[in-house]
Structure 1
Amino acid sequence: MARVLIPLPARDFDPSEAAVSWQVLSNAGHTVSFTTPDGKPAAADDMMLSGEGLDLWGTIPLLRKLPLIGLLMRANRDARNAYAAMIADPGYSSPLRWDSVDAAAFDGLLLPGGHRARGMRDYLESAALQRHVADFFEAQKPVAAICHGVLLAARSRSARTSRSVLYGYKTTALTWALENSAWKLARITRFWDPDYYRTYLEQAGDPDGYMSVQQEVTRALASPTDFLDVPTCDPDYRRKTSGLPRDSMGDARPAFVVQDRNYISARWPGDVHTFAKAFAGLLK
């Protein structure tokens, strides 16, 4: 079976995208290793686990323990259970350092996402990780990226062409529609920190969404048409695009996953079971 590497930031990664992927790959018989900036175990975005802090009363000590909107926005039960199992796994507690990874030692690479700026920017801007991503693409090994993980791939440059490794590939990623809807909600429910769902913000003069995941990824592609979203003719279009239903091991209807040769991509935690199953199949 395959040896898979999952890079993580020190903190604030999305628990669903990492843990469900780990669980699906492990259950399929693949060996999963983790890598972090300092070789210490990573910590997920705590609000995506508890839901606390995502409501209007999120700053009030006792009331914050009673999430409402937070229950809808946090990782679902399957993902939380997968996270608990993942962090108890011995392989998770002894990750490699980003700068000590040998890409040749692995058969595949999976890039989870996360949006919280304080932890995710180090991951997205890491020159070491971008070199590793490029190495996997140059070797034409299987690579999977979901949500902001696609942004890390888009920023990774081929040593041969100096272009993004995604240049010439078709991909999806966190769409501006999903990112913007979560941002709008947070500006109301988390008014003291309204940009919680935006990793990067537009500067004066930028058009709306210019620094969104979708638009930055699209700028790295050979053609804007290489960024794929759910087609309106899809019979499950509303289920896939509302930002509410999430897929499961037995129900892929809410998910949207794109495969182009050795590369698989997906949009958000609601796609992760289908995404991880597709990658596990590709690794075989």
Structure 2
Amino acid sequence: MLRGPAVHSPPTVLIAIPSHDFDPTEVAVSWRVLSDDGVRVRFATPDGQPGRGDALMLSGEGLDPWGFIPGLRRLKLLGLALRADARARAAYAQMLASEAFAHPLKHVDVDVHDFDGLVLPGGHRAAGMRAYLESPVLQRLVGLFFDRKLPVGAICHGVVLAARSMSHATARSVLHGRKTTALTWKLERTAWSLTRYFGRFWDPHYYRTYLEAAGEPAAYRSVEAEVKRALASPADFLDVPADAPHHWRQASGLFRDRSDDTRSAFVVQDGNYVSARWPGDAHLFAQTFAGLVTRRVS
């Protein structure tokens, strides 16, 4: 009996997000790239309702020093530089209209057996992100994805969620023994300084999800410092090498990558794990992760 070629169903990836304040670039670009590569994307939120991205990162309104004045907040200077770029905003609008985004799962209802990979995006605004990063439900779920050796991608503060997640097999962070990157202190400090000194002075810690407590050294609660504490060695935290051909574009924080030009991006892959630093890496991050998922199921 002759049989036709095997028909493979498309891989399915979960993007876990908070209820609000996630970074719109990191979520929407990941969704767009994965979808364009034939990957089925599902979303999950704490309550099963559609999430909301950080409004300041979408519009840029409220990031300049006059941003608290109703009549002037639409005038943007610093806001134009810090907000999501046009490609990311377009992807975000398309994502909002998608069936998958409109009907997310609840975090607690996710079954790891239904998925071929997991994406952990970031965001920095404490109001929405702390609950996400501190969720025991998500930390347990991340541990299961790693223990099953399924592809996991984490970008920016999403790497903090991975660092806090324990392997059920080793009782250590899932990142222990792995190479990773994340939002570097240099990038985090630059954005924090810009907004507290030259922009959103009435909300000076908008860019810091966690601040140091009394007696803690500077940067102790930064993304880079926390992730390093979860690793087998601080040397396993990687940043752009000094001799990289496009070091200035990659390290300055002034350039964002595009689907057709990823020279400014920096991404680390260690086996089935992919990590990146900030929204400026989003296209290469998503492309690398999509390739990992599609090769695995092909």
Aligning the two structures, in what range does the TM-score lie when normalised by the shorter sequence?
A: over 0.9
Which residue of 1 is the match for residue 243 of structure 2? Answer: 233
Structure with max Cα Rg: 2
**Alignment match of 1:213 (pick from 187, 211, 223):** 223
Q: 1:160 offset after TM fit, Å?
A: 2.1
1:270 equivalent in alignment to 2:280: yes
Distance 1:232 1:208 in 2: 24
What does 1:174-189 align with in structure 2 at a 5 Å threshold?
174-188=183-197, 189=199
Q: 1:215 corresponds to which letter in structure 2?
A: A
Q: 1:159 offset after TM fit, Å?
A: 1.6
- Three-state SS of the structure 1 residue aligned to 2:73 is helix
* Identity, % of aligned positions: 62
Distance 1:187 1:18 in 2: 26
Which residue of 1 is the match for residue 5 of structure 2? Answer: none
Distance 1:104 1:227 in 2: 30
Distance 1:255 1:208 in 2: 27
Distance 1:52 1:245 in 2: 21
Which residue of 2 is the match for residue 160 of structure 1? Answer: 169
Distance 1:265 1:193 in 2: 29
Which residue of 2 is the match for residue 12 of structure 1? Answer: 21
| Superposed structure 1 runs of 4+ greater than 6 Å apart | none
Which residue of 2 is the match for residue 43 of structure 1? Answer: 52
Which residue of 1 is the match for residue 157 of structure 2? Answer: 148
Task: Give a deviation string over 1:218-258, Cα, whole Å, max 9, x none.
Answer: 00000111000001111211111111100001111100000
Task: Give a deviation string over 1:171-197, Cα, whole Å, max 9, x none.
Answer: 000000000000111112111000000
What does 1:83-98 align with in structure 2 at a 5 Å threshold?
83-98=92-107
1:114 equivalent in alignment to 2:123: yes
Specify every segment of 5 or more residues in structure 2 that has no aligned partner in the other structure, as ranges.
Answer: 1-9
Give me the TM-score of the superposition, normalised by structure 1: 0.99
- Three-state SS of the structure 2 residue aligned to 1:172 is coil
Distance 1:92 1:193 in 2: 30
Q: 2:279 corresponds to which letter in structure 1?
A: P
Specify every segment of 5 or more residues in structure 1 that has no aligned partner in the other structure, as ranges.
Answer: none
Moved more, 230-239 or 111-120: 230-239
Q: 1:161 offset after TM fit, Å?
A: 1.7
- Three-state SS of the structure 2 residue aligned to 1:92 is helix
